Amino acid sequence: MSLEETDDLHFVGKAEDLVLSKRSVVTVEGRDVLLIHHQGEFYALDCYCYHAGTSLETGDIEELNSKLCIICPKHKYKISLSEGEGLYRARDTSLTPPRVRWFSKGPKQRVHQLSLIQGALYLRLSSRGRLESDYYQGERGKVEREKAERAEDTGAEEGRGWSWSRSNETEEGAGLELEP
């Protein structure tokens, strides 16, 4: 009996190949999935960041709040590899004195199950509820990723955003003014 696509398992490659490459992107049932081998563990998650659809393939991996996280290379969103949680730092005012710590936004990025069977990796796609990373998957997702990229490029070209300029210089010094 072949395990190629038995019991919702999809063959995605040999474990030794992923160990060597460290990362790989595969498409399973129209879904782009990033496979990662890091510190002896295998991980699988949706390839595009839940925030704006940027590929996570080149994102750095760091340990944050005792969790291994991939950092979106474009906007620096932090996503736990094992649970798909979005993490952020903020001041915890319930502590005395208040101090900055890590908080969870809850699951944002879909993670998938990888199984190692006789040296081969098999993927089972997650089907739990709707998650924000679903938006950037499939053909519609491709269109949305392209739109987001164009909008960001156009915004930069049109000079949207803010710039600082010197104005009202006096003998006491220069004042800074925010210009749209």
Residue 39 included in any domain: yes
Does residue 92 sit within a domain? yes
Q: Classify residue 68: in a domain, yes or no.
A: yes
Whether 156 shows a pLDDT value over 80: the answer reads no
Number of domains the chain contains: 1
Are the beta carbons of 82 and 107 closer than 8 angstroms?
A: no
- Other beta carbons within 10 angstroms of residue 144's beta carbon come to 17
Place of tokens 């399973």: 28
Can you give the pLDDT at residue 122? 97
Output the average pLDDT for the chain: 84
pTM of structure: 0.79
Q: For 11-60, write each residue's pLDDT tens digit.
A: 999 999 999 999 999 999 999 999 999 999 999 999 999 999 999 999 99
Work out the average pLDDT over 168-177: 37
56 neighbors 73 (Cβ within 8 angstroms): yes
**What CATH number has the domain bearing residue 75?**
2.102.10.10
Residue 56: which domain range?
Answer: 6-154
